[in-house]
Amino acid sequence: MAESAMRLTKEGLALIKSFEGCRLTAYYDGGIDEHGIPHGKLTIGWGHTRGVFEHDECTQEAADAWLLEDLAEIEGGLLQCLNGVELNDNQLSALVSFCYNVGFGKKGKKDGFLVLESGHPSAMYTLLRSGFTIAAADEFPKWSKAGGVESAGLLRRRIAEQALYRKEPNPCLRLIKGLNPLRLLKIN
């Protein structure tokens, strides 16, 4: 998906950046314990994990480019699995942030937006696929635990995502989206 075709809003991108943070040297996203044993995935930039090796470094430009590539992939995955579900750009942006953080899930491995570890679909996904887009917003705060423990940081992120999801898009943008402003001018 090309960057210009993304529906992710500037506000959505800013939300993601505010919670992810950017590190230009590779690190383990689960930290290193008191015995020096690393946990989690090797990560760099704004949460990029693909092809990262210990001691890797990157520029800010590379980190920003990887973030946009990763978010385009997430957005594309969301649009594919939610095909036919009408979402405004704020709703989609909130879901991109959510999925960038929790993932889509994998049966037998981990809970995610699409599928839970149990193999069942998540309640948020089920609500969206069933057309209950407003009710789906209530699911965000339920995803605020890390390792089974409530996390204040994750709860803040979920509340921010929920607020963006519930935010009405600019009605003026909705009216003119797809229109050529020059066609609105009457030229005789």
User: Average of pLDDT values for 135-159?
Assistant: 95
Question: pLDDT tens-digit profile of 78-125?
Answer: 999 999 999 999 999 999 999 999 999 999 999 999 999 999 999 999
pTM for the full predicted model: 0.86
Please report which confidence band the pLDDT of residue 173 belongs to, taking 50, 70 and 90 as the band edges: low
Average pLDDT of the residues of the chain = 90
Would you say residue 175 has pLDDT above 70? no
The percent of residues above 70 in pLDDT, for the chain, comes to 88
The residues spanned by each domain of the chain are 3-168
Q: Is the CATH number 1.10.530.40 carried by domain 3-168?
A: yes
- Distance in Å from the first CA to the final CA of the chain: 40
Q: Is 63 exposed, middle or buried (0-12, 13-18, 19+ CB in 10 A)?
A: middle
Question: pLDDT tens-digit profile of 1-40?
Answer: 444 589 999 999 999 999 999 999 999 988 888 898 988 8
Residue 81 neighbours by CB distance under 10 Å: 17
Q: Provide the residue type at 150 as one letter.
A: E
Residue 51 neighbours by CB distance under 10 Å: 9
